[in-house]
Structure 1
Amino acid sequence: MDSSSNRSVPATVRRWSLSEDTLVEGDPDGPLQVVSRWGEVHLGGADEVVRELLRRMSFGPVSLANIARGTGAVEQRLTGVLELLGGSLVHSLALHDGQAPLLSAVPVSPTAAFRSAPIPPGRPVRLSRFATLRTVEGELVVDAPGASYQVHLHQPLATRVAAALGVPAPVHQLRPGSPAPTPVVADIVEFLVAAAVVVVGEPDGHFAEDRDPVLRLWAHHELLFHTRSRSRHADPPSEALVSGALAAPPTVCKPVPAGKRFPLPRPEPRPAGADEPSLTALLESEHGCPELSDRMLTLEQLGGLLYRSARVRSVRPAYLHTGTSHEASQRPYFNVACLYELEIYVSVGRCAGLPEAVYHYDPLDHVLTMVNDDRAAPGILLDMAKVAAGGVRRPPALLTLTSRMERVAWIFGGAAYATTLTHVGALQQTLYLVAKAMGLSAHAVPVDASGTVDRLLRIDSPAEVSVGECVLDSLG
């Protein structure tokens, strides 16, 4: 690239622009503030050239040469300003044809730093094993969990080069699918390396990320999920919330499915601590996964557990920090913004008063609705739970937790699934403690296998997806 190449005539030109969420504020004669989602950068003593640079970068990619007019000292000063902007600065690479850039690197971290350097001759290069290619708003993008940039591939040549990097090879051996000048291909690869979505091999041909003892612990999808659900993402927020695409927020409870209904007993109110251990005693007692028994649950036990752990206590309007209102419910377990997107399904094998079947729990009316009366269905799910629990007997019942993603995604966008998993843990902990207080056993097990659970629950995936399970048993 022109900033680091030894060629007298660079094959490409670097351009810079401000990210879409960045604003430049300040008086014409006073200090300037560059404001983005990461915070503010104060530029005191900004002269006319710096102000012109910021003004032009607000409209799109510009080259420093067009601002500095061939003056090396001015260009050096502007380079210093660019280094201060960090996470507010979009880096682009273009040809000398005045057309749109080949590709751009959009910052996804406040500490983003774009450091380009020539690739040592003969070293293999490839996409990081954690990198993904996907479409965002009509463009192909490349991102990786550890990268501080998301790379947008604007032109077909950049796309072909990125695709060719799926196979390790030195730059001069890359085959981007159609004739392309080697210097241009080299500059594109160098740009992708600077954005940390492409890695350079060691002299022995191996790649450091394949040998890293920490990175080897992570599967691609797990590391990607972790970083994208926490902070490093450049995708737009929930479209439903931004555009008002939903005529109304999703309902507090899932509409009751068709099927035979079985009202559940409600436990009698009892004084605190009556005939039950205290919360402290429950928390301080030994935790374990007892052997599954051949005992039968009672309808009173099942009804009492669901009532005390997951029923709807009340429904009332709530207001988000954005000013948006929605109907919220109060239930015994923790849930962010009182959205309560989780649903409970009960696979019954042995429960007095209930036929063997799969049921949906209505937390508003405290009723079970039979959703799958095929007697083989609960057996399949209970067998899966038996294996997951390391037992030799089927448990009497299995609670499967699902998430209505629309209920949570319209607010949390890209963090919706991570938020749902937080809620799953809260509900599982509540079920565990309440069951223990009642002389029951409820412990989490991983059950799902190749979509079997979603199919037998007869839910509409991915609008509603299974996210957790609890095996239910009696302690005698």
Structure 2
Amino acid sequence: MTITEQPLTTADAELSRVRRMLTLRQDVKVAAEGDDVELTHPWGRQRVHALGAPTVHRLLALGAGPVDADALAGDREAGRLLSLLGRFPYLVTSILDDPLTGPLATAVPIARSAATPGAPDLGSTAVVLSRFAYLRRLPDGPADGGGGTIGQGCVMESPLAPYRVTLHQPAAAAFVAALTTPRTVAEAAALAGLPEQSGAALAALLAGTGFMEPAAGAAVGAAPALPAADPPLWDFHDLLFHSRSRAGRHDYTSGGVFAHQDVPHPPALPGAGSNEDEPGIDLPVPDWDEVTARDPRLTEVLEGRRSIRTYAETPVTLEQIAELLYRAARVRQVIPRDPSSPNSYDAIDRPYPAGGATGELEIYLSVAACEGLPTGVYRYDAAAHRLQPRRWHGAADEAAFRELLTAAWRATNCTVDPQVLLTVTSRFGRLSWKYSQIAYALTLKHVGVLYQTLYLVATAMGLAPCGLGSGDTDAAARALGLDWTSESSVGEFLIGSRPASGSGSLPQGFCDIVDTMREQG
């Protein structure tokens, strides 16, 4: 058999060329009135005047489907449209289309700060994927805003990139994987099984939208610069969490959107756990007049608040723990839902504020030393003001309890053996049923206000409070008998008896460095 190689003709080369197509985000609405248009989009609305009929026609065509960017640039009459797109780059989706294999990648702007993506010619420059870039599959659902369908393909995002890129072909995802190690575009394309031309187009799109950076010591030369190296003081998960739980860096529906109405809303008050088969311990309710008569003034409590990591020889008492929990964390009221509203749910009123009155936080006690309370694990029933003992099923449960106390000891820099450890958990579904994108950030805000409430009440009572910055999620789930994906520890707080050396009178004046700082400048 004889094989004769035929040189590619100009038509063949054009047929195999990866084209960059442009279209408007699918949620951009264009309303034309003569020579004027009104653009409505997720970030607002703009009215553009005196575009001229040809430009209006081209803009409507761009909203109806992809247009070849090169053909548009070569159109002498399209200058006004290109100028308009340059003013609103955050409305323009870019699609890499291979005439032979179909769409390769789609880049959708997800922030108003998105600029027109550059297209650097990387040549032999070694590049590497940003350490903040990640791949995932979006849930099946509606269009992704830029011509693709959520759930079809692999999606790449980064808290540093104002774009979301959908990789429509496995080879495109393999190309991205190849760039987790510094390589040239040609090397990465060969590893992924992509034609070099396709690899170059994809690399230019990724670099232009903020997903790649030069390898250490590499220079791009005269080509447009790649994004600067990533911010050194951020961990991946922290920057991602910050960018996705606040508006401005993404286009996902956020806030109280009630996205899970097809799922029953978790109950306002948690039921008894499977390991709660012992009688509960009804806690004493503090007397209002007695508490208000002995409590210091709010300003004295605020100025006297400290984290105390030393305890008196005599441990804290059950009565003190009961008063602290009652004043800081009890359920004051359950507000029934409106049955006529699909968005309504039973709300919870507690001494501390919570978004949407969701009341998702719960408290468990790991007791090592407390007068009147045996060693063990207890759930605080905040509505009945009762402790529910959690039975250990075996040595593994008790070992997990010891792990919690050890983790708390380490969190205090190994300075104090815990008396009572309060583990704060979140029943996440109470929040995520209503709130999207911000649910976890919101539960952490609630932990903060609960911490402050515990600090102030404990200080007023003359106890030794100390909020901890870390805890063991897995050990807490085992010790408390929880499914950590449904209810998990989100905070830890130590309570003990205050030593005599730290029980002096609360401050009688403000302490600050205001005068010193003013003298310095």
Normalised by the length of structure 2, the TM-score is: 0.81
Match of 1:89 among 78, 89, 92: 92
Contact 1:403 1:466 in 2 (8 A): yes
Following the alignment from structure 2 to structure 1, what is the Cα–Cα distance between the partners of residues 91 and 156?
A: 19
Following the alignment from structure 1 to structure 2, what is the Cα–Cα distance between the partners of residues 202 and 393?
A: 46
Q: CA 1:448/1:47 → structure 2, altered by over 3 Å: closer, same or farther?
A: same
Q: CA 1:284/1:142 → structure 2, altered by over 3 Å: closer, same or farther?
A: same
Match of 2:277 among 259, 262, 266: 259
Contact 1:136 1:235 in 2 (8 A): no
Q: Name the residue aligned to 1:122.
A: 124
Q: CA 1:205/1:73 → structure 2, altered by over 3 Å: closer, same or farther?
A: closer
Match of 2:138 among 136, 139, 142: 136
Q: Which moved more, 1:230-239 or 1:332-341?
A: 230-239
Q: Name the residue aligned to 2:484.
A: 461
Following the alignment from structure 1 to structure 2, what is the Cα–Cα distance between the partners of residues 109 and 323?
A: 31
Please tell me whether residue 385 in structure 1 is matched to residue 404 in structure 2: no
Percent identity, aligned pairs only, is 33
The one-character-per-residue Cα deviations of 1:333-371 (angstroms, maximum 9, x if unpaired) are 111111111111111112223221111111111111112
Q: Where do 1:383-422 residues align within 5 Å? A: 383-422=406-445
Q: Which moved more, 1:175-184 or 1:273-282?
A: 175-184
Please tell me whether residue 244 in structure 1 is matched to residue 261 in structure 2: yes
Following the alignment from structure 1 to structure 2, what is the Cα–Cα distance between the partners of residues 190 and 80?
A: 22
Following the alignment from structure 1 to structure 2, what is the Cα–Cα distance between the partners of residues 36 and 216?
A: 34
Please tell me whether residue 218 in structure 1 is matched to residue 253 in structure 2: no
The one-character-per-residue Cα deviations of 1:39-96 (angstroms, maximum 9, x if unpaired) are 1222212333333344344444333567x5x863223222112122222222211123
Kindly provide the amino acid, as one letter, of the partner of residue 168 in structure 2.
H
Q: Name the residue aligned to 1:446.
A: 469
Q: CA 1:309/1:62 → structure 2, altered by over 3 Å: closer, same or farther?
A: same
Following the alignment from structure 2 to structure 1, what is the Cα–Cα distance between the partners of residues 442 and 260?
A: 22
Q: Which runs of 5+ in 2 are unaligned?
A: 1-12, 140-150, 500-521
Q: Where do 1:34-433 residues align within 5 Å? A: 34-64=39-69, 72-97=75-100, 100-137=102-139, 138=151, 139-177=153-191, 179-201=193-215, 204=218, 215-231=231-247, 232-235=249-252, 241-242=258-259, 244-246=261-263, 248-257=264-273, 258-260=276-278, 261-270=280-289, 273-285=292-304, 287-317=306-336, 324-373=343-392, 375-433=398-456
Following the alignment from structure 1 to structure 2, what is the Cα–Cα distance between the partners of residues 393 and 338?
A: 35
Normalised by the length of structure 1, the TM-score is: 0.88
Kindly provide the amino acid, as one letter, of the partner of residue 119 in structure 1.
D
Q: CA 1:269/1:164 → structure 2, altered by over 3 Å: closer, same or farther?
A: same
Q: CA 1:176/1:133 → structure 2, altered by over 3 Å: closer, same or farther?
A: farther
Q: Name the residue aligned to 1:17.
A: 23
Q: Which moved more, 1:369-378 or 1:306-315?
A: 369-378
Q: Which moved more, 1:196-205 or 1:272-281?
A: 196-205
Following the alignment from structure 2 to structure 1, what is the Cα–Cα distance between the partners of residues 122 and 260?
A: 48
Q: CA 1:71/1:181 → structure 2, altered by over 3 Å: closer, same or farther?
A: closer
Question: What's the offset of the Cα at 1:203?
Answer: 5.1
Following the alignment from structure 2 to structure 1, what is the Cα–Cα distance between the partners of residues 137 and 208?
A: 21
Kindly provide the amino acid, as one letter, of the partner of residue 169 in structure 1.
R
Kindly provide the amino acid, as one letter, of the partner of residue 481 in structure 2.
R
Question: What's the offset of the Cα at 1:286?
Answer: 5.6
Q: CA 1:304/1:106 → structure 2, altered by over 3 Å: closer, same or farther?
A: same
Q: Secondary structure at the match of 2:364?
A: strand
Following the alignment from structure 1 to structure 2, what is the Cα–Cα distance between the partners of residues 72 and 169?
A: 37
Following the alignment from structure 1 to structure 2, what is the Cα–Cα distance between the partners of residues 122 and 295?
A: 72
Kindly provide the amino acid, as one letter, of the partner of residue 82 in structure 1.
L
Contact 1:104 1:151 in 2 (8 A): yes
Following the alignment from structure 1 to structure 2, what is the Cα–Cα distance between the partners of residues 115 and 108?
A: 13
Q: Which moved more, 1:148-157 or 1:432-441?
A: 148-157
Kindly provide the amino acid, as one letter, of the partner of residue 97 in structure 2.
A
Following the alignment from structure 1 to structure 2, what is the Cα–Cα distance between the partners of residues 242 and 30?
A: 40
Q: Secondary structure at the match of 1:199?
A: strand
Kindly provide the amino acid, as one letter, of the partner of residue 41 in structure 2.
S
Contact 1:356 1:375 in 2 (8 A): no
Q: CA 1:377/1:172 → structure 2, altered by over 3 Å: closer, same or farther?
A: closer
Following the alignment from structure 1 to structure 2, what is the Cα–Cα distance between the partners of residues 176 and 277?
A: 73
Q: CA 1:318/1:379 → structure 2, altered by over 3 Å: closer, same or farther?
A: same
Question: What's the offset of the Cα at 1:210?
Answer: 12
Q: Secondary structure at the match of 2:321?
A: helix
Following the alignment from structure 1 to structure 2, what is the Cα–Cα distance between the partners of residues 178 and 385?
A: 48
Q: CA 1:100/1:75 → structure 2, altered by over 3 Å: closer, same or farther?
A: farther
Q: Which runs of 4+ in 1 moved over 6 A?
A: 208-211
Q: Secondary structure at the match of 1:352?
A: coil
Q: CA 1:17/1:243 → structure 2, altered by over 3 Å: closer, same or farther?
A: farther
Following the alignment from structure 1 to structure 2, what is the Cα–Cα distance between the partners of residues 148 and 436?
A: 46
Q: CA 1:272/1:39 → structure 2, altered by over 3 Å: closer, same or farther?
A: farther
- Larger Cα-atom Rg: 2
Kindly tell me the number of residue pairs found equivalent between the two proteins: 460
Following the alignment from structure 1 to structure 2, what is the Cα–Cα distance between the partners of residues 450 and 255?
A: 21
The one-character-per-residue Cα deviations of 1:293-334 (angstroms, maximum 9, x if unpaired) are 443222211111111011111121468xx9822211110011
Kindly provide the amino acid, as one letter, of the partner of residue 422 in structure 2.
L
Question: What's the offset of the Cα at 1:375?
Answer: 4.9
Question: What's the offset of the Cα at 1:276?
Answer: 1.5
Question: What's the offset of the Cα at 1:464?
Answer: 1.1
Kindly provide the amino acid, as one letter, of the partner of residue 83 in structure 1.
G
Q: CA 1:443/1:21 → structure 2, altered by over 3 Å: closer, same or farther?
A: farther
